[in-house]
């Protein structure tokens, strides 16, 4: 799987991180490790813009950027671009848990989807990289982990109860969503995100209308961000074990 992730990451960086790119969003997760590995190679070859800055999407992302000798920059410190939409990032390259035929994406396996979505929304392009297990026709086809939903700790039980009562006929497969509070592995108690929140993993079954589900979950009081990125990605690169890659736009 590492070879597959690496092949996808290298292909995406080679295409998008050209010497004119000055601001790059760096995602979170294991595939992004290979994105940063390729950036470090390009830096050593003098192929990166001398003033390139990298915007992290998590503590892990920051660590990768600094360890590779790249220059980190916080989103709020970047100058607005010409049209004042404050989309100052040329391109963001990030991983995903699953990508559907329309390039809707489930993200948040690494519990970083709040900052990932903010950075992606401030980018002129969002490019997804992953191994071929992420390449699906419908969200929920392959990824069994559910949709990560970041919630304020004070609201996790009420948000869970309200999410499990969501009814959107035709939008998803299950009769009712099933939400689970994500427990940490090497820490007692729930996972706490970089923003101090909890994560509910919500199973919907197959998701036939990702935008509708994303919008409806966002309405639940206490929900901070939903790990469905509808219509945000412009391209997805999937690596195979044999090193070959597939690109979807």
Q: Which residues of this chain interact with ligand DER, rule CB under 6 A?
A: 27-31, 94-97, 107-110, 112-113, 116, 130
CB of 71 to ligand DER, least distance (A): 22
3-state secondary structure of 135: strand
| CA gap 4, 67 in Å, rounded | 23
Considering beta carbons, is residue 154 or 184 the nearer one to ligand DER? 184
Considering beta carbons, is residue 108 or 222 the nearer one to ligand DER? 108
| CA gap 129, 117 in Å, rounded | 15
* Cβ contacts of 44-47, under 8 Å, gap ≥ 24: 47/19
H-assigned helices in 143-209: 156-163
Beta-bridge mates of residue 106: 98, 228
- Identify the active-site residue in 74, 98, 116, 150: 116
First to last CA, the chain: 22
Considering beta carbons, is residue 177 or 239 the nearer one to ligand DER? 239
Give the helix/strand (H/E) hosting 125: none
Considering beta carbons, is residue 119 or 220 the nearer one to ligand DER? 119
CB of 194 to ligand DER, least distance (A): 11
CB of 88 to ligand DER, least distance (A): 21
Burial status of residue 167 (CB atoms within 10 A of its CB: 0-12, 13-18, 19 or more): exposed
| Close Cβ partners of 124 (under 8 Å, ≥ 6 residues apart) | 87, 89, 90, 91
CB of 131 to ligand DER, least distance (A): 7
Considering beta carbons, is residue 22 or 72 the nearer one to ligand DER? 72
Q: How far is CA 94 from CA 67, 179, 193, 216, in A?
A: 18, 25, 18, 25
116 has catalytic annotation? yes
Considering beta carbons, is residue 31 or 62 the nearer one to ligand DER? 31
| CA gap 169, 208 in Å, rounded | 10
CB of 165 to ligand DER, least distance (A): 26
Q: How far is CA 146 from CA 11, 21, 190, 225, in A?
A: 28, 35, 17, 14
CB of 232 to ligand DER, least distance (A): 12
For the annotated catalytic residues, the residue numbers are 116
């Amino acid at each position: 799987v590492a070879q597959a992730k690496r092949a996808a990451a290298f292909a995406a960086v080679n295409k998008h991180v050209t010497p004119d790119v000055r601001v790059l969003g760096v995602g979170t997760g294991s595939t992004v490790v290979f994105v940063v590995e390729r950036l470090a190679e390009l830096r050593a070859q003098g192929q990166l813009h001398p003033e390139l800055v990298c915007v992290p999407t998590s503590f892990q992302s920051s660590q990768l950027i600094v360890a590779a000798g790249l220059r980190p920059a916080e989103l709020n410190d970047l100058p607005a671009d010409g049209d004042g939409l404050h989309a100052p990032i040329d391109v963001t390259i990030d991983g995903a848990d699953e990508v559907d035929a329309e390039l809707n994406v489930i993200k948040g396996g690494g519990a970083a989807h709040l900052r990932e979505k903010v950075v992606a929304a401030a980018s002129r392009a969002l490019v997804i990289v992953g191994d071929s297990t992420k390449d699906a026709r419908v969200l929920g086809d392959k990824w069994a982990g559910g949709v990560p939903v970041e919630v304020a700790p004070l609201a996790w039980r009420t948000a869970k109860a309200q999410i499990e009562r969501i009814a959107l006929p035709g939008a998803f497969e299950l009769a009712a969503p099933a939400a689970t509070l994500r427990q940490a592995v090497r820490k007692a108690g729930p996972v706490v995100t970089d923003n101090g929140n909890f994560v509910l993993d919500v199973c919907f079954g197959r998701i036939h209308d990702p935008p509708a589900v994303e919008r409806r979950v966002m309405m639940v009081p206490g929900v901070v961000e939903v790990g469905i990125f509808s219509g945000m990605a412009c391209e997805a690169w999937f690596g195979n074990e044999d090193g070959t890659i597939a690109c979807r736009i």
